[in-house]
Amino acid sequence: MDNDTPLHSAIRNFKDDLDHIKILLEDDDSDINVGNSKGETALHLAGQNKRCSEELIKLLLAHGADVNATTSPDGNSVLHLFAGSCINLDTNEVATILLKHGSDANARNSKGEIPLHMAVKNEECSEIVIKQLLEYSSDVNASDLKGDTPFHLAMANYKCYDYVMIRLFLTYGADVSKRNGMDETPLQAYYNGKTEGSCPVDPRLQILLQTREEQLENSSELHIACLYGKPDQVQDMLLQLGADVNSLDKYGYSPLAYTFLRFHDDYDRWHIVQSLLHYGANICHQITLENDSKRSLIEVGMASYSYRNRDESEPQKMLFGIIDYIEHIAKLLKLYEEQAELGINSEALQNLQGILAKNRFYVILMTILNDSRLSKESLLSKCSKELEAMRETRLGESRQTFWDLMLAKTAESYVKNKKLVEAFYAKHDIFPMYKGILDAKIDKALERQRLIDNATTSFFNVLNFADPSDEFYERTLSYCSNKDLMNLIDGLKERE
């Protein structure tokens, strides 16, 4: 067949028996790089064999097989062929072995394709193989002769569509604005692929595959900061700009939902999540996923964590980040229970309880917690004790308690009294479970008051109208957003 040598034939018919291959190579390995009529060497055939094993590849390489030899006329290397045909999870390390032996991750065949193109077109190719190619600097933005990048092909092929794999491409720098020969961006290729496959469009992909300009047009600056920014940037937007933590984009996604779409920096992701939670992010909000299914952000957060942390041998390492999420759920659960007893927020309690009851990820994670230093019972007990202590702890000599502050929608009336603020900071550390929520409420109100005071002073200096303490200023400026106040202060300073 195809002018095969005995070695070709043995490898073409290989079924896990290395002994026959070893005998042929020991007798004479001089034809190790001889090609058949298609230019296929023994290594090429091994890469295409569905029973290919790491041991077979290592054996051929040990006898001098050329990893960069190409077929004729297709110009495929063994890495092209393996990426395009592999289906066996037991061969996951073959690509790494070839790459370590000098196989070119960016070699092009006669169609201008690199091995990554072939891997993406192979609907049964493991995500692990694709990641290995990317780790060895495979060019995620390389265009074939039709102008398609591997990212275009991944987005166009609805049959092998995988949200996690798309995030992997984005992590390695896939260009969402690059156009192919049909003048399509990856997002347009995705739309066309979905149309052909009659599959619902996934809002998450619509968000991730937009350009930054399109994303900003369809959402807010806070959404974008949660998707791409650093924790300090998000914190500043929440505190200084007073950004709406529960604003929704075109697809009904909140900033917290965008944080779970991040495709890099787990450390930053969970710090951003923590800031959003302290500022009141609604974890019960439901978003639409693929197939028009609805999921709460509790479920989305748990699923996001569950996928990324699979090493059950180190429970505490697995709990990085998510433990704060679970603590926040416990804090809300106990707070809502206490409020429901007062006849308020009972709907929020029922909603939260309903979501937790059907969330399998929550059950799994609580099992892990029960095996560690924390448990659901201890969390709820801590929350209950803190809330009780809040009822008994006054802010200085006032009649206001920390419980009153916790129930207040905003702390704007509290920060007008400096003694209350001083009393707050003197004792807020005794409520470690709820400290983040309390601090965010006070800090946000203080920043708002600072901006109003500065704007009032600037107005008075320019207009010399009414005493700065006159309620006129505060009533008028209360209609301005934090960003408006900052712009106003900057503009008035130029006229002083």
What mean pLDDT is predicted for residues 410-422? Answer: 95
Q: Which helix (H) or strand (E) holds 62?
A: helix 54-62
Q: Which helix (H) or strand (E) holds 366?
A: helix 360-370
- Tokens in use for 489? 């202060």
Flag the least confident range among 9-13, 131-135, 271-275, 473-477: 473-477
Q: Which amino acid is at 100?
A: K
Residue 197 binned pLDDT confidence (cut-offs 50, 70, 90):
low
Angle, CA of 489, 492 and 495, to the nearest 5°: 155
By C-alpha distance, which of 58, 59, 69 is closest to 20?
59
Domains of the chain, residue spans = 6-139, 393-493
* CATH architecture designation of domain 6-139: Alpha Horseshoe (1.25)
pLDDT surpassing 50 at residue 313:
no
pLDDT of residue 361: 60
Q: Which amino acid is at 314?
A: E
Rounded to whole angstroms, the Cα distance separating 327 from 330 reads 5
Q: What are phi and psi of 34, to 5 degrees?
A: -75, 135
pLDDT surpassing 70 at residue 165:
yes
Q: Which amino acid is at 123?
A: E
Instruction: Identify the residue whose tokens are 């600097």.
Output: 137
Residue 483 binned pLDDT confidence (cut-offs 50, 70, 90):
very high
Flag the least confident range among 190-199, 218-227, 306-315: 306-315
Residue 139 binned pLDDT confidence (cut-offs 50, 70, 90):
very high
Angle, CA of 326, 327 and 328, to the nearest 5°: 90
Which residue stretches of 76-114 are H helix? Answer: 78-85, 94-100
Entry field: residues in the chain: 496
Flag the least confident range among 191-195, 430-434, 442-446, 455-459: 191-195
Cis status, amide bond into 73, omega within 30 of 0: yes
Environment class of 149 (CB within 10 Å of its CB; exposed 0-12, middle 13-18, buried 19+): buried
By C-alpha distance, which of 479, 477, 478 is closest to 492?
477
Rounded to whole angstroms, the Cα distance separating 133 from 131 reads 5
**Cβ proximity of 194 and 200 under 8 Å:** yes
Task: Name the CA radius of gyration of the chain, rounded.
Answer: 30
pLDDT surpassing 60 at residue 204:
yes
Phi-psi category of 343—alpha, beta or left, where left has phi over 0 and alpha has psi -120 to 50?
left
- Tokens in use for 460? 């008075």
Rounded to whole angstroms, the Cα distance separating 371 from 388 reads 28
Q: What mean pLDDT is reported for the chain?
A: 87
3-class SS at 401? strand
pLDDT of residue 362: 62
Q: How far is CA 49 from CA 54, 67, 261, 479, in A?
A: 12, 16, 37, 70
Q: How many CB atoms lie within 10 A of CB 43?
A: 27
Rounded to whole angstroms, the Cα distance separating 276 from 273 reads 5
pLDDT surpassing 90 at residue 433:
yes
**Cβ proximity of 336 and 383 under 8 Å:** no
- Tokens in use for 256? 């917290």
Rounded to whole angstroms, the Cα distance separating 269 from 316 reads 18
- Tokens in use for 423? 């009393």
Beta strands at 286-288 and 294-296: parallel, antiparallel or unpaired: antiparallel
Read off the pLDDT of residues 45-57 as tens digits, 9 standing for 90 and up: 999 988 888 999 9
Residue 286 binned pLDDT confidence (cut-offs 50, 70, 90):
very high
Rounded to whole angstroms, the Cα distance separating 227 from 264 reads 9
Angle, CA of 480, 221 and 491, to the nearest 5°: 40
pLDDT surpassing 70 at residue 462:
yes
- Tokens in use for 5? 């040598």
Rounded to whole angstroms, the Cα distance separating 392 from 22 reads 81
- Tokens in use for 179? 């156009």
**Percent residues over pLDDT 90 in the chain:** 57
Q: How far is CA 167 from CA 101, 170, 207, 260, 267, in A?
A: 28, 5, 12, 11, 17
Q: How many CB atoms lie within 10 A of CB 342?
A: 9
Residue 316 binned pLDDT confidence (cut-offs 50, 70, 90):
very low
